[in-house]
Structure 1
Amino acid sequence: MRRLLPVALTGLLAVTACQSGGDTGADDARDLNTMESLPLHAYLPDPEAGGAKAVGRAQWILTGQCMLRLGFTSFTAFDVRSVESTYPVRQGTLTGGGRAGDDTPYGVDDPGPAATYGYHKRPGQESAAQPLEWSDDQYPALTGRFRSGDSRRAHGHPIPEGGCMGEASRKIYGAGPGPAEIGGVRLTGPYTVAMKLWADARTQARKDPAWKQADRAWADCMKEQGLHYPDPDRASADLAWFRTDKPSAKERKTAAADARCKLGTGYIKAVHAVETRAQKAAIDKNKKALEDRQAAHERAVATARKVIAEAS
């Protein structure tokens, strides 16, 4: 159904595997290795934009009011500024810190930093949203996520569906779309339509012969350096990298080779073209649903600003 990569590029992948190629095309490849370069990104709100920040602030305001209603008296003096740009985790949860993880769609793409930091986060890569620990009684009330032994009530009051944060989101966004399962994780919220389409498009794109050929060219390049992985995702997700806070020599070697092979084989350009086609097809089939969620976000921003004004 999708057209394959042009014959010239297909041949290029075969004959240039493992050739560094200097820096020619490297900047272009890195420009493509961003979430913003993919079509569905237009349907996800910018977390740094004023509207998204207003929604986040309003959600915490309403969450605090809900927690107070549930009997958490410490929320009488709740300072929203103390939790803005955070997300809740249960006390004692390991959050990863500087461990392995690259939030670019195709992983490491610069051999220099990769040789220093491996697959670990580099300085400046930290997300604006940071985890914040909450106690065992507060966390279920906040999130509506329960584990064995957790009560569905707080101080005698029933915890709303999705916890106080879920209730706050519904007040701002309305009912919203149903939950979606992405990578085995059940997600709810106003952006699940775009996120689910993104995940499904990636799954479909990876089945495309052009993507598989890019993986093979990359893997052949890695083999020449004594490294055996079928694709870049397997390399970056090697469990060995998650066992230490600092990258090992092997991790740094692997990451640097990974980046060189991506650039030398034209990997990023090849798979980006396939994924772009898959996302555009998803947008064409689901345009009304996506536009409805964009309109819902605009309404939510207006509602959020009213919440903030009333709380001021």
Structure 2
Amino acid sequence: MRKVLPLALTGLLALSACQFAGHDDPADEAHRLNSMESFPLHAYIPDPSSDAGRAVGKAQWILAKRCMVRLGFGGFATLNTRTVESTYPVRKGTFVGRGKVGDDSPYGVDDPDRAAEHGYHNRDQEESSQSLEWPAEQYVALTGTFDTGDSRRAHGHPIPEGGCLGQATRKIYGHPPRTTKVNGLKLSGYYSLALELWYESDKQARKDPAWKKADREWSACMKEKGFHYADPDKASFDTAWYRTGEPSGKEKRTASADARCKLDTDYIHTVHAVQAHVQKALIGKRKKDLDAMRAAEERAVGNARTIIEKEA
């Protein structure tokens, strides 16, 4: 059995020392830990909003523009790629959007005051990747995503696998890794290994006695406040919250109690310590593969910058 409880206690002791030294209070530290950036595996997942990420996005559209012209879309010859660099195509007339219910952080709500105002409708609607509508024929050529009745040719030319954007990505990154399956979901991207390990870390960590104890303590705290949930996921994914566009009074009260109990029981500190420990172990086992993935990303960024320089 993994001895992770001492690690959690060590983290809490270190946190206490910081408090006495005048550093972050428990709420601030919990909020910091409740972010993707605080995990070891985050170092292996590129940030699309970074300079390197933006360079790749720009190069993808430069190559996709050339591809679209070759496919017979003459209007793309004058396309200003700066207007589309941070976007991903959406088929015209298709409803696109994600609900407001949910949270972009690993462990859900952690601010009682914010939760009292927004409930579990806490998803950040500001996305780094924007959507832009394209006519069906152009969308299909750009993405290689076909609906029933769509032709796999454009102006007599075969549409490349993944469309012009998929072809551009392969030119920048090289051939993608093999597709893997995680919890029934196919992962085929260039960072599929990191995402696969992230899922595995979550699955392993939730089986740890320290995590289960944290769930019980959080649940007991919630019960004292009149709410009956076995763990935070059961509370945040209560189907009642999905029935309305705006949070109800009950949802706000539940979410606020949820966040307060996380702070009062040191829930986030404990489960984060467990999951970070598991991630480090998984990184150690697959470090060679992860380092190769990181090196491939660095080469791709170099390729992207070369493409941009030649276009200038």
Output aligned runs, 1:127-206, within 5 Å: 127-206=127-206
The one-letter code sitting in structure 2 at the alignment partner of 1:207 is K
Deviation per residue, 1:145-185 (Å, 9 max, x gap): 33333332223222212222211111001113222334543
Residue of structure 2 equivalent to 1:247: 247
User: Quick one: distance in 1 between partners of 2:174 and 2:86?
Assistant: 22
Of 52-61 and 68-77, deviating more is: 68-77
The one-letter code sitting in structure 1 at the alignment partner of 2:269 is K
Deviation at 1:285, TM superposition (A): 0.8
User: Quick one: distance in 1 between partners of 2:155 and 2:169?
Assistant: 23
Q: TM-score, normalised by structure 2?
A: 0.87
1:72 aligns with 2:73: yes
Residue of structure 2 equivalent to 1:110: 111
1:296 aligns with 2:293: no
Deviation at 1:135, TM superposition (A): 3.1
Give SS of 2:190's match.
coil
Q: What percentage of residue pairs aligned between the two structures are identical? A: 60
Residue of structure 2 equivalent to 1:308: 308
Give SS of 2:5's match.
coil
Residue of structure 2 equivalent to 1:29: 30
The one-letter code sitting in structure 1 at the alignment partner of 2:154 is A
Q: Is 2:8–2:273's contact at 8 Å kept on the other side of the alignment?
A: no
Residue of structure 1 equivalent to 2:220: 220
User: Quick one: distance in 2 between partners of 1:239 and 1:70?
Assistant: 46
Residue of structure 1 equivalent to 2:262: 262
Change (3 A) 1:205 1:61: same
After TM superposition, where is structure 1 displaced by more than 4 Å over at least 4 residues in a row?
Answer: none
Residue of structure 2 equivalent to 1:279: 279
Give SS of 2:72's match.
coil
Aligned CA-pair RMSD: 2.4
Unaligned runs of 5+ in 2: 13-23
Report the count of equivalent residues: 299
The one-letter code sitting in structure 1 at the alignment partner of 2:279 is Q
The one-letter code sitting in structure 1 at the alignment partner of 2:245 is D
Residue of structure 1 equivalent to 2:21: none
Q: TM-score, normalised by structure 1?
A: 0.87
Of 87-96 and 289-298, deviating more is: 87-96
User: Quick one: distance in 2 between partners of 1:103 and 1:206?
Assistant: 19
User: Quick one: distance in 2 between partners of 1:87 and 1:203?
Assistant: 31
Deviation per residue, 1:41-90 (Å, 9 max, x gap): 11112323211111111011112222222223332222212222222333
User: Quick one: distance in 2 between partners of 1:181 and 1:243?
Assistant: 31
User: Quick one: distance in 2 between partners of 1:8 and 1:281?
Assistant: 16
The one-letter code sitting in structure 2 at the alignment partner of 1:181 is K
Q: Which of the pair has the greater relative contact order for Cα pairs under 8 Å at 6+ separation? A: 1
User: Quick one: distance in 2 between partners of 1:306 and 1:81?
Assistant: 17
